Amino acid sequence: MLDNVLLGLQTAFTLENIMYCFGGVFLGTFIGVLPGIGSLAAVSMLLPLSFYLDPTTALVMLAGVYYGAEYGGSTASILLNLPGTPSSAVTCLDGYPMAMAGRAGVALFITTIASFVGGSIGIVMLMLFAPLLASFALSFGPSEYFALMTLGLIAAAGVVQGSPLKGLAMVLLGLLLGAVGADVNTGETRLTFGLLGLYDGISLVALAMGLFGVAEIISSINTHKSASKDMSVRLSSMMPSAEERRKIGLPMLRGAGIGSFFGALPGAGQSIAAFIGYAVEKRVSKDPSRFGKGAPEGIASPEAANNAAVQAAFIPTLTLGIPGSATMALMLGALLIHGITPGPGLIAERPDIFWGLTMSFWIGNIILLILNIPLIGIWVSLLKIRYNYLYPTILCLICIGVYTLNYSLFEVGLVLVFGALGYFMRLFGFEPAPVLIGFVLGPMLEENLRRAMLLARGDFMLLLERPITAVLLAISAILLIRIAVRIVGNARRSSVSG
């Protein structure tokens, strides 16, 4: 362990990696603060640029954007009652009332400290459990991977807001989109509509930028609001009182624990972690009525939870190759493009990547502490930028980013098509995140299913004779049954009331 940590420090503490780490978390905070652009859009914009970097450096930067955005996300929640990232929506509940009561500085201070505590605990979990899980997963064959991916996909479908059927539809759509292009085993082209640009499959970046970037811009125009001119936060106003400091200690730790657990589950993600963190605090509180009126615990726990979840999300991605969230799916895609297949062998074969990345998280979290407390003024003034300045700029960046993938305008056309698809999906209440998870996992799911079935001589029941496969598929089946029960329950309730 110590050797590995030293190796990691060695890798992380090169000037180049520190610079890219700083660049990543800076940009991440920037993106997180601005409502309407998530870390996903930011990571996909940077993905083409990362091809020019060493894989570790690329990952350090992209990961920095991801967890940096979680820090920045709470700023707009507190000051504008508008979440900067989906997972900081809970922070609005008590953060905004605190700002209304003139305690915005204190709220921003608490969220930053809670983010740091959550992030740190998440990193420790990653350091402890990733190697353990990896050594356990070394014995996995194709059937185990198939079962694990099935479980992850069903979980991803089940956590969407609204009908889980719609989540399932999105996962299946993602799996189909992932099948576009030449089939790896036979070379036969599938679902390409005769378009030459699709022979290598749909580009992940174009899909992500269309579904998230462009679709988000269309739905945000004319509904977006920015901060008033006179809004400012001074450093002197940020210090919490002794009573507030005492109140937030335990909630932060509880939040970090909840976040580490839910973050590591494939398909769950930060938003769920933050909501559960909030719900638990409300339940254990002696006076739950204070929640929603500016209770400091109500922002400390969810912020610790979503930042712990972000760090813990690297556990399944790096050790099993199964992304827990859409942004993680993108990160997985980045690794694959660099020719690195994340899986149980990664930690042993490329310890420099795993440990270097983990150690860069410490550097990044410390930089974020500095960026978000002494330099908070910068971010607050950022909220004053009007959206009509932001979205044309973002649109240009999306176009340039996609174009530079392989200098083809065909990809920009794909962004247009997926932008349209994404906008209509959103309009009809579909969440786009499971599409991306399905898209990245699709080719791997198919490949593992084919291999497993070949080994089992075409008999699906033989797969169930492998204990781990059987357990994983059983859990998947239970999840599906629970989803079915929920759907039937909803239908019955509404037909009684209607």
Binding site for another protein (CB under 8 A): 49, 52, 163, 165-166, 168-169, 172-173, 175-176, 179, 183, 185-186, 188, 190-191, 214, 217-219, 221-222, 386-389, 391-393, 395-396, 399-400, 403-404, 407, 409, 412-413, 415-416, 419-420, 423-424, 427-430, 446, 449-450, 453-454, 457-460, 487, 490-491, 494-495, 497-498
Give Cα 362 distance to the centre of its chain. 19
How far apart, in whole angstroms, are the C-alpha atoms of residue 361 and residue 74?
19
Exposed / middle / buried, residue 42 (Cβ in 10 Å: 0-12, 13-18, 19+): buried
Give which of 202, 210, 201, 177 is closest to 399, Cα–Cα. 210
Min. distance of Cβ 214 from another protein in angstroms? 7
Report the nearest approach of another protein to the CB of residue 1 (Å): 38
For another protein, the closer of residues 122 and 178 by Cβ is 178
Q: Give the C-alpha separation, 192 to 201, whole Å.
A: 8
Of 279, 325, 320, give the one whose Cα is nearest residue 94: 279
In the complex with another protein, the residue whose CB is nearer, 238 or 394, is: 394
Our CB check for another protein shows the closer of 40 and 214 to be 214
CB of 190 to another protein, least distance (A): 6
Say how many C-beta atoms besides its own lie within 10 A of residue 410's C-beta. Answer: 16
The DSSP secondary structure of 24-62, one letter per residue, reads HHHHHHHHHHSTT--HHHHHHHHHHHHTTS-HHHHHHHH
Nearest residue to 5 (alpha-carbon basis) of 165, 124, 168? 124
Q: What is the largest CA-CA distance in the chain?
A: 71
Assign residue 287 a region (left: φ > 0; alpha: ψ between -120 and 50; beta: otherwise): beta
Smaller CB separation from another protein, 225 or 246? 225
CB of 440 to another protein, least distance (A): 15
As measured in angstroms, the least distance from the Cβ of 172 to another protein is: 4
Closest approach of Cβ 19 to another protein, in Å?
Answer: 13
The structure tokens 């008590």 sit at 94
C-beta of residue 408 within 8 angstroms of C-beta of residue 417:
no
Nearest Cα neighbor of 82 from 222, 224, 214 is: 224
Decide whether 136 or 424 has the Cβ nearer to another protein.
424
Toward another protein, which CB reaches closer, 252 or 414?
Answer: 414
Nearest CB to another protein, comparing residues 195 and 427 = 427
Minimum distance between the CB of residue 358 and another protein, rounded to whole angstroms? 28
